[in-house]
């Protein structure tokens, strides 16, 4: 998944001394189930407190779209996104949450966190 990181663009955080909260919720995430080959759908919510860099929104959109035809487990989607964004942004704190649509009558959610949230 390292190549995906090249899709992520950043801009300078002009207020690095202030711990302010940024949230991006992507409602149209889709990937493919590695077991059945069937498409998966879900909502991905990314929350973070920036250090020196912020994520540029259009590049985030393209990054998330890059999963479209990947065969990947829910758990790896969420933790992979967290790893990629942490690697590129070095945030003070970040949480990635995925709420996936029903499959075989089962609804799934995965939440993963990096660092400790400043008060």
Catalytic sites, residue numbers? 33, 40
Q: Which residues contact 5 (CB under 8 A, 6 or more apart)?
A: 84, 87, 88
Interface mask (CB under 8 A) for a copy of itself, residues 6-45, using x and -? -----x-xxx--xxxxxxxxxxx-x--x-xx-xx-x----
Judged by CB under 8 A, does residue 90 bind a copy of itself? no
Cite the DSSP H helix spans in the chain. Answer: 57-65, 74-89
Judged by CB under 8 A, does residue 106 bind a copy of itself? yes
- Are 16 and 52 in contact, with CB atoms under 8 Å apart? yes
Nearest to 24 by CA among 52, 56, 1: 56
Q: Which residues bind a copy of itself (CB under 8 A)?
A: 11, 13-15, 18-28, 30, 33, 35-36, 38-39, 41, 50, 54, 56-58, 60-61, 64-65, 68-69, 73-76, 78-79, 83, 101-114
């Amino acid at each position: 998944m390292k190549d995906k990181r090249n899709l992520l663009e950043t801009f300078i955080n002009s207020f690095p001394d202030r711990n302010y909260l940024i949230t991006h919720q992507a409602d149209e995430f889709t990937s493919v189930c590695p077991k059945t080959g069937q498409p998966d759908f879900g909502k991905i919510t990314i929350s973070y407190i920036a250090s020196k860099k912020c994520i540029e929104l259009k590049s985030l959109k393209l990054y998330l779209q890059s999963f479209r035809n990947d065969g990947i487990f829910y758990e790896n989607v969420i933790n992979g996104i967290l790893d990629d964004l942490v690697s590129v942004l070095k945030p003070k704190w970040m949480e990635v949450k995925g709420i996936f649509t029903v499959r075989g009558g089962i609804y799934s959610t995965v939440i993963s966190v990096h660092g400790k949230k400043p008060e």
